[in-house]
Amino acid sequence: MSKIDKDKEVVAFMIRLYCHKKEGNMDLCDSCKELLRYSEIRLEHCRFGDKKPSCKSCKVHCYRSDMRERMKQVMRFSGPRMLLYAPVLAFNHFFLNK
């Protein structure tokens, strides 16, 4: 599995967790679906490919400012909770995915 595919898996999990636990939705709401589609497109078109840094430390911010703020909210909420709901995915993402 490529780094881009792993990042897509992590982002999808984070968005689903946010939508379910923070917003109380059983299925992804339209806003979260839009964010997921947007993030997948941005990851697919990342100029760095499998050598991409984390978005936080990237010098090229490819997200529109509104989507970037939404993703920050999702990551702030879901990041710590990943340790509880998906510890292996969290460990791989935070410690092995450098």
pLDDT band with cut points at 50, 70 and 90 for residue 97 = low
Q: Residue 11 and residue 24: Cα distance in Å, rounded? A: 18
Task: Evaluate the CA torsion angle 41, 44, 45, 46 in order and state its sign.
Answer: positive
Domain of residue 43 covers: 3-96
H runs (alpha helix) in 45-86: 65-85
Q: Residue 11 and residue 25: Cα distance in Å, rounded? A: 17
H runs (alpha helix) in 1-98: 3-17, 30-44, 65-85, 87-91
pLDDT in tens, 82-93: 999 999 998 888
Overall number of domains in the chain: 1
Amino acid in the structure at residue 69 = E
pLDDT in tens, 1-57: 888 899 999 999 999 999 999 999 999 999 999 999 999 999 999 888 888 777 777
